[in-house]
Structure 1
Amino acid sequence: MTTSSKTLGDLFDSFEREAFRLETLDDYSKSGSVDAYHAFLAGQPQPDEYNAGWVEELRSHTENGKRVHRVHVLTRPLSDYLRFELGWGYRKNMTGGEEFFILDITEKPNPLENVPDFWLFDSASVAVMNYDGNGKYLGPEVLPSERTAEFMRYRDAALAHAEPFPEWWAKYGT
């Protein structure tokens, strides 16, 4: 699905300042961490090593002055998967320096209607994250540079309408 010679991995390896992610789905359970998700649903405690590889990668970026942040567009009540992702994933990833924001559209219109999930690196490269109708990850599509400005506008709108995750979680987390 890549339309560029660069891959998503290349973009992560080479970004210099900022990696931004927009998430729009309520359920990514078909895309990874299936065992952890089932453990969460069964009420088991979060294993210490959960997401350890990603947290290390985050730490390597953030300790070098790079920013990794994301906005998740969602509605309440949270799906079981979102309770897992925010409660286990986001809170764990914050220990590696990743920043999270929530764009809660429960009582307001979605300013990013029909915008796909994506990563934006250094305001220069975009990778759209493709999923099927059930939330199964199909792969990234690295877009041509002509599309970057469009996704910068999406990032800016997401951040303008979102609130920091810790504040949102204190109000609505379970």
Structure 2
Amino acid sequence: MLLAGEDWRRAFDAMQQEAWRLETLPVYRVPQEEEAVRRFLAGEPVTREATQPWFDRVKAYVTSGRSVGRVHIIAQPLSDYLRFEFEHYRHNVEAGEAIRILDVTDRPNPLDGVQDFWMFDRSRIVLMNYEPDGTQIDREMYEGAPEPYREYQRIALTESVPFEEYVKGFDA
């Protein structure tokens, strides 16, 4: 089953305890972000106001006792998009999102070949399907057993570091 628009929003909002994401790409081509990325690359800062809709959603989830987290697998040097996304992450962390970075620059990727996904309540998996250039194809409700995705989450969390720790000492 494919999820788009309001179906995606409802699936996300239906989570009872946890929404967790694995991100694997160095760039995501999101039409709604094109102008913001252009401004960032021109030297404009990413303000909290620019991230307000997601900030407010995360804050509401966390305030209600639910958690939102992600691990992004990256390799240096950071792409322009990752530098942009890291600026968003600074605000997301402030809202309560638990963001971690798994840097595979100098080591094998322990999740090589695993695609992006969201996992809700450790039981519902939504596969995030992308073209190689980061353009989203669709979101697909996974119909199989969640155990492999729970293991991917365990590995990602074990092998990663908190975003705030990762960015200390360098200018993202």
TM-score relative to the length of structure 2: 0.92
Paired residue for 2:155? 157
RMSD over equivalenced CA pairs, Å: 1.7
Paired residue for 1:50? 50
From the superposition, tell whether residues 173 and 45 of structure 1 become closer, same or farther in structure 2 (CA, over 3 Å): closer
1:39 aligns with 2:39: yes
Give deviations 1:113-165, integer Å, cap 9, x for gaps.
Answer: 01000000111100011111211111200111x33111111111100100011
Identity of aligned residues (%): 37
TM-score relative to the length of structure 1: 0.91
Checking the alignment, whether the CA contact within 8 Å between 2:71 and 2:102 is kept in structure 1 is: yes
5 Å-filtered alignment, 1:41-80, equals 41-80=41-80
1:136 aligns with 2:131: no
5 Å-filtered alignment, 1:73-92, equals 73-86=73-86, 88-92=87-91
**Structure 1 Cα separation of the partners of residues 48 and 69 of structure 2:** 23
5 Å-filtered alignment, 1:6-25, equals 7-25=7-25
Letter in 2 for 1:72: H
By how many angstroms is 1:48 displaced?
4.2
Paired residue for 1:126? 125
From the superposition, tell whether residues 48 and 123 of structure 1 become closer, same or farther in structure 2 (CA, over 3 Å): closer
Letter in 1 for 2:41: L
Number of equivalent positions: 170
By how many angstroms is 1:99 displaced?
1.1
1:96 aligns with 2:91: no
